[in-house]
Amino acid sequence: MTQKVAVLGTGKIGEALLSGMIRAGWNSADLLVTTRRRERADELHARHGVTPVTNTEAAKTADTLILTVKPQDMGTLLDELAPHLPADRLVISGAAGIPTAYFEERLAAATPVVRVMTNTPALVDEAMSVISAGTHATAAHLAHAEEIFGAVGKTLRVPESQQDACTALSGSGPAYFFYLVEAMTDAGILLGLPRDKAHELIVQSAIGAATMLRDSGEHPVKLRENVTSPAGTTISAIRELESHGVRAALIAALEAARDRSRELASGTTG
């Protein structure tokens, strides 16, 4: 039987996901999208061949609904969906912070809900998507969510109690690496390199380091020690990173991201 999948609120994450699904072999005729603006719907149809529908139509016709609106917009979307959504449809939330219980309280009794935190490398099929089951989601529902998000990268099942921490690590994670590259490129400018060369050196170093982290089987400490020669250049840089508290800053930053994810759960919109 053909399974219709609807992506509701198809912005950056929603589009990254559906384009990956199509690359992985999903038939675009089975993919529905909803948007706020008509022009956005037309753009998605032209780019991917997917079918724009209203939220109500998606609720009535899709087997699986993937909700990728901002956390602050989720309540309004659920108010719109609830009267039309049969309880046997799978609801997958891609929103930061919001627990599965929030959906279960607003949708028909026993609706299966799966919570997923993915990240923007979904655009290049290198996402990290962390998946948790709500009260009524079965192994088959989790497997279906894994099949969908597996189209854009790796998946990992975690207890829902770990979702806010995972959001801080991998959901927001790419931003920290982009920030580091930006800062290191600025350092290259200070050292007299043209910006394009500095960018190329840093990006290739990042790709090399990431590949070693993934493929070498070595601990990151060992990999760093291998770069750090006695009385050499690297240890001079590491001393500065330590004296500026970069490690403590990263720990505090991720703790703040985890806390913000928890606040989103309690409906904080500020």
Ligand X SMILES: NC(=O)C1=CN([C@@H]2O[C@H](COP(=O)(O)OP(=O)(O)OC[C@H]3O[C@@H](n4cnc5c(N)ncnc54)[C@H](O)[C@@H]3O)[C@@H](O)[C@H]2O)C=CC1
Ligand Y SMILES: O=C(O)[C@@H]1CCC=N1
User: Binding residues for ligand X, per CB under 6 A?
Assistant: 8-9, 11-14, 34-36, 55, 68-71, 73, 76-77, 94-96, 117-120, 171
Least Cβ distance, residue 96 to ligand Y (angstroms): 4
Residue with Cβ nearer ligand Y (155 or 167): 167
Residue 163 is a binding residue for ligand Y (CB under 6 A): no
DSSP state of 3: P
The answer to whether 167 contacts ligand Y (rule: CB under 6 A) is: yes
Q: Which residue stretch of 164-172, 188-196, 201-209, 219-227 sits at the interface with ligand Y (rule: CB under 6 A)?
A: 164-172
Q: Kindly state the tokens that stand for 158.
A: 């975690």
Tokens for 232, please give them: 């050499």
Q: Which does 34 bind (CB under 5 to 8 A by kind): ligand X, ligand Y, none?
A: ligand X
What is the C-alpha separation between 134 and 111, in angstroms, rounded? 9
Structure tokens at 189: 């400018």
The torsion angles phi and psi of 33, rounded to 5 degrees, stand at -135, 150
Residue 169 or 223: which CB sits closer to ligand Y? 169
Question: Exactly one of 127, 171, 188, 198 binds ligand Y (CB under 6 A); which one?
Answer: 171
Q: Please state, in angstroms and rounded to a whole number, the distance separating the CA atoms of residues 47 and 54.
A: 19
> Applying CB under 6 A, does 116 fall inside the site for ligand Y?
no
CA dihedral angle for residue 14, residue 166, residue 254, residue 65, rounded to 10 degrees: 20
Q: Does residue 94 touch ligand Y according to CB under 6 A? A: no
Give the whole-angstrom CA distance, residue 86 versus residue 109.
10
At 190, is the secondary structure helix, strand, or coil? helix
Applying CB under 6 A, which of residues 51, 132, 172, 185 lies at the interface with ligand Y? Answer: 172
Give the footprint of ligand Y on this chain (CB under 6 A): 96, 167, 171-172
